[in-house]
């Protein structure tokens, strides 16, 4: 964010900001909207990076009193939408909503313009607090309105998929250090590859049992820089060739090796493009697009390394199987999207490349390249709202794009595109059928063109899930599945008897406390027979899980593997898929 520039401006000219005008307003079922303005602001307030924002003056925070009055039952079909917007998209304001007791009940503190919070329209008095994180001399306009909640179609009617969970054994060094895990499957050997911080594990399944082996890259098997240090780990397995990459972020480069034999031996690479970003690395790949430079060696697929920098995000492409990379190319800047992004994915037929982002203007979006990473465009997802967790993309066998994300109300939503992100349909809240109120860590995968799965951590407790002192929700792993191209979904609790976390989950980065044990994402993939496999870190183990004891902030490497229900490849559907639901699962 441009806080340094704002500080310089404030040093040169310090002007008092005008307080909200008016200072208070009301919304009701008969008068559904109110607006206000405040500013200009020149002094940046980045105090929320270390917790709650520190105010003390109108220049550092602006408070607006909002009165809400609605009849009983109004919230069944309506929501309270509060937003703030400004003219210069390079500026950044953050939005906090406090209830009458002074507790934060909604937050939007991304790089989006506007920032938006969606809340239940409960009668009461609220404080809408706007913090000028990097104001650049801008004023803002605030809006509070009662809107109709979009209706969802009925849940899908096919038998519910079922899942078994498999945790890494205690003998593995990073078994309890699996925050931000990655997963891939070699389609030829069936080996499941799992990244848990510095360790790469090979997992084999037989019936209801799993065998975990440490196959980490190191000097003894061809990768001298492997498993030594990291700011961020990532693993990617090419679903066509079976080549697996493990990469460790190291500033504006990465320590990356690949294996063609499921971790028995590794090959060192140049790691990334130059000049790459400093954070949030991701690796992905797929076929080359026809209208760009193709393969330079016998390896058939392109490989992409993307990462986020201060004022933009960048991707570099490899034309020799990930051994070397070309220069890193900006895919968007802060005037278009916030810096952080999700994982890069590639269309299995056309080679179109997608990088999702949680905050681009008033919603979420994709950065898209159709010429092998040379040029990029930002394609918004209309109807979406900015969130706190990175979105995820899955691409079907004929190019259908599934965009899974956390919305401003904390709910799990999916939109579908049949034209590479140009237009979108079937936006749905896939957690509503089970009463899920808050989600984090969206992870999307697709198989056949009309089949996809969306994994996320969710809780049926509403409110501010980052409130360490007051949030008491219990989190589980959920998976939503479609077999009709996203027109309907079936969502299941994949860990019904084993909570993944109790209490708060912080998605605020390095300023978090113990409740950031899971870090920033989970991962999902599909094996050669269409089973969904989810990599997640189990944060609630021992007495926390078995007897409802205190949260112990673990991060146990765990896989949820599909055991029943329709597969992502219809050719492998079990016979029970069309005849009955597996006992014990609804």
Average pLDDT (25-51) is 91
pLDDT band, residue 58 (cuts 50/70/90): confident
Closest among 258, 238, 261, 246 to 189, alpha carbons compared: 261
Gap between the Cα atoms of 48 and 25, Å rounded: 26
Average pLDDT (13-31) is 80
Average pLDDT (254-267) is 97
pLDDT greater than 80 at residue 444: yes
Average pLDDT (557-573) is 98
pLDDT band, residue 462 (cuts 50/70/90): very high
Gap between the Cα atoms of 429 and 16, Å rounded: 43
Where is pLDDT greater, at 510 or 21? 21
pLDDT greater than 60 at residue 44: yes
207 contact partners, CB below 8 Å, separation of at least 6: none
> Tens digit of pLDDT for each residue in 132-173?
999 999 999 999 999 998 788 889 999 999 999 999 999 999
Measure Cα distances from 360 to 254, 286, 338, 367, 427 in Å: 27, 26, 6, 10, 17
pLDDT band, residue 130 (cuts 50/70/90): very high
Gap between the Cα atoms of 450 and 331, Å rounded: 29
Gap between the Cα atoms of 282 and 306, Å rounded: 5
Other beta carbons less than 10 A from residue 157's beta carbon: 7
Gap between the Cα atoms of 244 and 226, Å rounded: 13
Gap between the Cα atoms of 555 and 557, Å rounded: 6
Contact of 387 with 441, CB cutoff 8 Å: no
Residue 426: predicted pLDDT: 84
Q: What is the dihedral of CA 568, 571, 575, 579, to 10 degrees?
A: 70
Average pLDDT (465-472) is 92
Lowest mean pLDDT segment, chosen from 12-21, 110-119, 254-263: 12-21
Residue 16: predicted pLDDT: 56
pLDDT band, residue 323 (cuts 50/70/90): very high
Lowest mean pLDDT segment, chosen from 7-16, 18-27, 469-478, 544-553: 7-16
Contact of 135 with 44, CB cutoff 8 Å: yes
Residue 1: predicted pLDDT: 37
Q: What is the DSSP string of 346-406?
A: E-TTT--EEEEEEEETTEEEEEEESSTTSS-EEEEETT----SS--EEEE-TT--EEEEEE
Give me the long-range contacts of 50-55 (CB less than 8 A, separation at least 24): 50/511, 51/511, 52/104, 53/94, 53/96, 53/129, 53/131, 55/129, 55/131
Return the sign of the alpha-carbon dihedral for residues 9, 15, 21, 24: positive
> Tens digit of pLDDT for each residue in 92-110?
999 999 999 999 898 888 7
Measure Cα distances from 188 to 138, 210, 240, 394, 564 in Å: 56, 18, 9, 21, 22
Gap between the Cα atoms of 496 and 412, Å rounded: 18
pLDDT greater than 90 at residue 111: no
Average pLDDT (513-525) is 95
Domains and CATH numbers, the chain: 18-148 (2.60.120.380), 155-572 (2.130.10.10)
Vertex 267 angle, CA 264 and 270, to 5°: 150
Residue 556: predicted pLDDT: 98
Contact of 482 with 565, CB cutoff 8 Å: no
pLDDT band, residue 581 (cuts 50/70/90): very low
Gap between the Cα atoms of 211 and 199, Å rounded: 15
Measure Cα distances from 165 to 240, 469, 533 in Å: 26, 30, 10
Lowest mean pLDDT segment, chosen from 312-326, 490-504, 568-582: 568-582
Query: Residues for the chain: how many in total?
Result: 586
Average pLDDT (113-117) is 89
Phi, psi of 48 (to 5 degrees): -70, -10
pLDDT greater than 80 at residue 11: no
**What is the rounded average pLDDT for all residues in the chain?**
92
Q: What is the dihedral of CA 571, 575, 581, 583, to 10 degrees?
A: -120
> Tens digit of pLDDT for each residue in 183-217?
999 999 999 999 999 999 999 999 889 999 999 99
Burial label, 31 (beta-carbon count in 10 A; 0-12, 13-18, 19+) = exposed
Residue 48: predicted pLDDT: 80
Gap between the Cα atoms of 362 and 66, Å rounded: 22
> Tens digit of pLDDT for each residue in 222-257?
999 888 888 899 999 999 999 999 999 988 889 999
Average pLDDT (274-289) is 94
Residue 362: predicted pLDDT: 86
Give per-residue burial for 112-136: e unless 16+ CB within 10 Å, then b: bbbbbbbbbbeeeebbbbbbbbbbb
Average pLDDT (489-495) is 98
Gap between the Cα atoms of 186 and 386, Å rounded: 34
pLDDT band, residue 576 (cuts 50/70/90): low
Burial label, 508 (beta-carbon count in 10 A; 0-12, 13-18, 19+) = middle
Residue 179 is given by DSSP the state S
pLDDT greater than 70 at residue 586: no
């Amino acid at each position: 964010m441009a806080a340094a520039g704002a500080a310089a401006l404030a040093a040169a000219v310090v002007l008092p900001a005008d307080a909200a005008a008016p200072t208070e307003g009301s919304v009701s079922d008969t008068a559904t909207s109110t607006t206000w303005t405040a500013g200009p602001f020149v002094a940046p307030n980045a105090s929320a990076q270390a917790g709650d924002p520190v105010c003390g003056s109108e220049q550092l925070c602006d408070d607006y009193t909002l009165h809400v009055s609605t009849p009983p039952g109004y919230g069944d079909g309506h929501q309270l939408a509060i937003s703030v917007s400004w003219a210069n998209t390079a500026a950044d304001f953050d939005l906090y909503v406090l209830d009458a007791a002074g507790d934060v009940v909604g937050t939007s503190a991304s790089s989006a313009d506007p920032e938006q919070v969606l809340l239940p329209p409960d009668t009461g008095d609220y404080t809408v607090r706007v913090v000028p994180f990097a104001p650049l001399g801008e004023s803002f306009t605030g809006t509070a309105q009662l809107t109709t909640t979009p209706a969802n179609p009925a849940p899908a009617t096919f038998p519910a998929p079922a899942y078994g969970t498999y945790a890494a054994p205690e003998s593995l060094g990073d078994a309890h250090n699996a925050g931000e895990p990655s997963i891939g499957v070699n389609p030829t050997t069936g080996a499941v590859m799992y990244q848990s911080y510095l360790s790469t594990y090979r997992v084999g399944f037989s019936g209801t049992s799993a065998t975990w082996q440490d196959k980490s890259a190191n000097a003894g098997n061809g990768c001298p820089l492997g498993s030594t240090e990291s700011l961020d780990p990532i693993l990617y397995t090419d679903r066509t060739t079976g080549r697996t990459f493990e990469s460790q972020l190291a500033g504006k480069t990465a320590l990356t090796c690949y294996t063609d034999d499921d971790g028995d031996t590794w090959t060192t690479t140049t790691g990334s493009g130059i000049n790459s970003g400093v954070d949030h690395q991701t690796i992905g790949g797929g076929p080359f697009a026809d209208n760009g430079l193709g393969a330079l060696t016998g390896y058939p697929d392109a490989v992409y390394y993307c990462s986020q920098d201060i004022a933009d995000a960048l991707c570099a492409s490899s034309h020799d199987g990930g051994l070397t990379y070309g220069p890193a190319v900006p895919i968007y800047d802060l005037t278009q999207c916030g810096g952080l992004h999700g994982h890069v994915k590639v269309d299995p037929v056309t080679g179109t490349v997608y990088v999702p982002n949680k905050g681009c203007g008033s919603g979420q979006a994709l950065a898209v390249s159709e010429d092998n990473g040379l040029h990029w465009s930002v394609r918004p997802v209309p109807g979406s709202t900015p969130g706190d967790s990175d979105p995820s993309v899955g691409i079907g066998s004929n190019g259908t794009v599934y965009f899974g994300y956390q919305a401003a109300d904390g709910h799990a939503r999916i939109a579908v595109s049949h034209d590479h992100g140009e237009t979108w349909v079937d936006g749905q809240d896939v957690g509503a059928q089970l009463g899920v109120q808050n989600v984090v860590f969206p992870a999307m995968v697709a198989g056949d063109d009309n089949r996809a799965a969306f994994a996320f951590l969710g809780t049926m407790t509403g409110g501010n899930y980052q409130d360490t002192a007051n949030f008491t929700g219990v989190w589980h792993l959920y998976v939503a599945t479609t077999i009709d191209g996203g027109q309907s979904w079936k969502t299941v609790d994949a860990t019904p008897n084993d909570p993944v976390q109790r209490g708060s989950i912080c998605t605020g980065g390095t300023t978090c406390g113990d409740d950031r044990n899971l870090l920033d994402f989970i991962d999902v993939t599909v094996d050669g027979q269409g089973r969904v496999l989810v990599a997640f870190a189990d944060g609630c183990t021992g007495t926390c899980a078995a007897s409802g004891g205190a949260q112990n902030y673990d991060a146990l490497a765990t896989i949820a593997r599909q055991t029943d229900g329709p597969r992502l490849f219809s050719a492998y559907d079990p016979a029970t898929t069309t005849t009955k639901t597996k006992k014990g699962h609804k």
